[in-house]
């Protein structure tokens, strides 16, 4: 009752899940982003496509049994897409089984015209994305048309995707064909797929920015999460040999070989800039 009075109680949704409290939303979300509308020298070559792998799952069951209403964080998805689109790249939107993309709409920056514009531009693709299996069957032979694979963050990126063998096949394909892999926040959970079926972790020894487990442990106190996380992403990556470069949920970004990563929603703009500039430099 006291938490509810203070605005610290997570909000109960119609399906029994919980979205962040009023205080958490005030502290962690904003109606406008820090997007910089940069005019890049647009890419003109053949490798103009980027495969974007989104989650189709909404509810994460926490250690206490409560469900967190999650999905892909809209800022973490759409700001990098804005930069890459401005740099001349286009997106194929996919989910594991072709079900619609799920966004954390409680985090949508409602007064950001740039974000709203690209969301509306790809809305039909978000509603009817490709199946990953279809992409594997039809597009793996066309690696010369692709520049990168992008996996947005949001806690929902830890649902289904880290166990999906098709994601693992695609990340291995990207690695073998010198494509970039771009991800941020909880999106690096996708990198765990490269260990499925007893394979060695593809990114052992890589430096990367990832959302800190220490912050996930603290956020239930302000009602951002309705309980503690089911598992710790940063710790799992470190155990496999990843070198996590950040300790805070800040705007840290990292480029190591063909892997481009960011630490949190606050890194979305910087990740987009780094990805756009890196792809233009490497592919021109």
Six-digit token pair at 217?
Answer: 């442990």
Phi, psi of 67, deg, nearest 5 = -100, 130
Six-digit token pair at 157?
Answer: 């990126």
C-beta separation of 77 from 121 below 8 A: no
Q: Among 167, 185, 225, 253, which one carries the catalytic annotation?
A: 185
Percent helix, strand, coil in the chain, to 5, is 45, 15, 40
Spatial separation of the C-alpha atoms in residues 193 and 195, rounded to whole Å? 5
- Told to judge if 254 belongs to the known catalytic residues of this protein, a careful annotator would answer no
Spatial separation of the C-alpha atoms in residues 238 and 38, rounded to whole Å? 35
Spatial separation of the C-alpha atoms in residues 56 and 216, rounded to whole Å? 22
Length, in residues, of the chain: 284
* CA geometry: angle 110, 116, 118, nearest 5 deg: 155
DSSP 220-284: GGGTSSSS--SS-HHHHHHHTT-EE--SSSSS-EEEETTEEEESSGGGHHHHHHHHHHHHHHHH-
Active site residues: 185
């Amino acid at each position: 009752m006291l938490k509810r009075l203070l605005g610290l109680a997570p909000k109960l949704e119609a399906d029994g899940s919980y979205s962040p409290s009023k205080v958490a939303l005030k502290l962690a979300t904003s109606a406008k982003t820090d997007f910089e509308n940069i005019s890049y020298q647009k890419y003109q070559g053949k490798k103009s496509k980027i495969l974007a792998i989104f989650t189709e799952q909404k509810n994460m069951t926490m250690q206490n049994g409560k469900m967190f209403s999650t999905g892909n964080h809209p800022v973490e998805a759409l700001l990098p897409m804005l930069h890459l689109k401005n740099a001349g790249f286009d997106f194929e939107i996919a989910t594991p089984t072709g079900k619609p993309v799920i966004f954390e709409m409680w985090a949508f920056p409602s007064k950001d015209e740039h974000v709203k514009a690209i969301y509306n531009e790809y809305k039909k693709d978000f509603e009817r994305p490709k199946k990953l299996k279809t992409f594997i069957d039809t597009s793996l032979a066309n690696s010369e048309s692709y520049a990168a694979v992008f996996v947005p963050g949001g806690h929902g990126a830890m649902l289904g995707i880290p166990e999906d063998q098709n994601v693992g096949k695609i990340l291995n394909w990207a690695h073998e064909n010198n494509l970039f892999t771009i991800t941020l926040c909880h999106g690096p959970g996708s990198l765990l797929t490269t260990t499925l079926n007893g394979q060695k972790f593809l990114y052992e020894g890589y430096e990367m920015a990832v959302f800190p487990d220490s912050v996930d442990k603290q956020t239930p106190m302000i009602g951002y999460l309705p309980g503690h996380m089911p598992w710790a992403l940063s710790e799992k990556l470190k155990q496999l040999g990843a070198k996590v470069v950040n300790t805070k949920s800040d705007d840290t970004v990292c480029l190591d070989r063909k892997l481009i990563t960011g630490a949190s929603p606050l890194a979305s703009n910087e990740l987009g800039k780094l990805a756009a500039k890196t792809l233009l430099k490497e592919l021109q």
